[in-house]
Structure 1
Amino acid sequence: MPMTLADEVFESLHGLMHQYRHLQYRALRGGAEELTHMEHKVLGFFSVHPGATQSDLVQHAGRDKAQVARLIKGLRDRGLLEGQPDEADRRSIRLTVTAEGAAAHEVARTQASQVNAQAVAGLEEGDCRQLLALLGRIRGNLDAVQPDTRTAVD
């Protein structure tokens, strides 16, 4: 059975994302702290939501609790995240990014921005806006099939 145009679009997107992630991972691994993609995303979440809990991240990201727990433990062990017991519920730990974690996240964010800029080099602003609009329409089509499946940490 020959590929449809829709198949070709998604094969192209899939290949593009593999190439992009490879470059992102290489940039993240080149930093002093050697962050993984998910560690970078977790630091980003707690940078924007200081004092959030592990449960907040699980709910926000739609990730497996055990995976999130391992990520947080690793970041805490490396001194990139710290936690304080919640005043109202001592079982909950409120997490914040340490100064070292903020520095590592900033380096990773800068490296990711460089990869992003290289990826769209040569595209005009209008091209980028049109691409965003088209991708938004595709996302809307998929949301109509299965709403609320997006994750912010992906």
Structure 2
Amino acid sequence: MAKQSGIKIVAKNKKAYHDYFIEEKLEAGIVLTGTEIKSIRAGKANLKESFATIKKGEVFIHNMHISPYEQGNRFNHDPTRMRKLLLNKIEISKLIGQTKEKGYSLVPLSIYLKNGLAKMELGLAKGKKLYDKRHDAAKKDAQREIERAFRERQKM
């Protein structure tokens, strides 16, 4: 997702890739108030402890923090309120089946502006065990060592 294609990334959930195996990604719109979109355009959003749930055939995002807009006065919003996500019925029914039967979770991966509209990238994720996290860390360390050795060799 590059800025050249009309997309500006506002916030990323880096912890999601550490804690989960992301099986599938999908794009969802977000229902926001006027001051919330102004805060997002200013880059004041955070996805750290957020999660998504499905209730009565609708998808909601919880604990997504959008800072109050400075010039918003009495029209400001609650920073961590529950917000509705916009998806097709087919996508929602597919997500319901996968989260119920296979033990998957819905994890927000990023918020971005696409042609002036706020969008969220949701990931269908399966939780990692502690040994999976250790394995990923060991793999990352090994890759870093290989790159370091390669750079030292090129200097010679």
Tell me the TM-score normalised to structure 1 length: 0.26
- Structure with the higher fraction of residues in strand conformation: 2
Q: What TM-score comes out, normalization by structure 2 length?
A: 0.26
Structure ranking higher in helix proportion:
1
